[in-house]
């Protein structure tokens, strides 16, 4: 089983937009992030939680069919685990909105718990 790869869009069009999301579950309110600040926050989270052995954070310059705005994909072995960006829910469990998740940390943890 491969690592959980976290791809965060850092394309200029995306980094000029923001998203409100809690990176950590303990945060009292969502923070406002661009693609670059989201990348830095998730990299810091993974390092502090010592998840480098099972998780890798990567920046992505562009993603196929991506609507403009910060986007995060959780991938494992070329399979999407979660695509977080959609403006409206689609009903698909792998296509979710930022507002539908509690935190990025919880999304990572739930994936890890399912595999351990």
Instruction: State the pLDDT at residue 27.
Output: 95
Instruction: State the pLDDT at residue 24.
Output: 96
50 Rama class: left (phi>0) / alpha (psi -120 to 50) / beta? left
Entry pTM: 0.88
Question: Where residue 109 falls among pLDDT bands split at 50, 70, 90?
Answer: very high
Question: Where residue 4 falls among pLDDT bands split at 50, 70, 90?
Answer: very high
For residue range 28-72, what is the model confidence (pLDDT) as tens digits? 999 999 989 999 999 999 999 999 889 999 998 776 666 667 889
- Strand ranges (E), the chain: 4-9, 19-21, 31-33, 55-60, 72-76, 79-84, 95-96
Q: Which domain does 83 fall in, by range?
A: 4-115
For residue 2, pLDDT over 90 is answered with no
Domain count, the chain: 1
């Amino acid at each position: 089983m491969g690592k959980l790869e976290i791809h965060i869009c850092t394309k200029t069009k995306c980094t000029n937009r923001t998203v409100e999301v809690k990176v950590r579950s303990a945060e009292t309110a969502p923070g406002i992030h661009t693609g670059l600040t989201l990348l830095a926050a998730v990299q810091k989270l993974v390092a502090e939680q010592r998840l480098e052995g099972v998780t890798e954070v990567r920046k992505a310059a562009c993603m196929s069919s991506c609507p403009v705005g910060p986007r995060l994909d959780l991938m494992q072995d070329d399979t999407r685990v979660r695509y977080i960006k959609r403006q409206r829910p689609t009903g698909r469990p792998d296509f979710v909105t930022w507002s539908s998740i509690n935190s990025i940390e919880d999304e990572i943890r739930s994936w890890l718990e399912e595999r351990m």
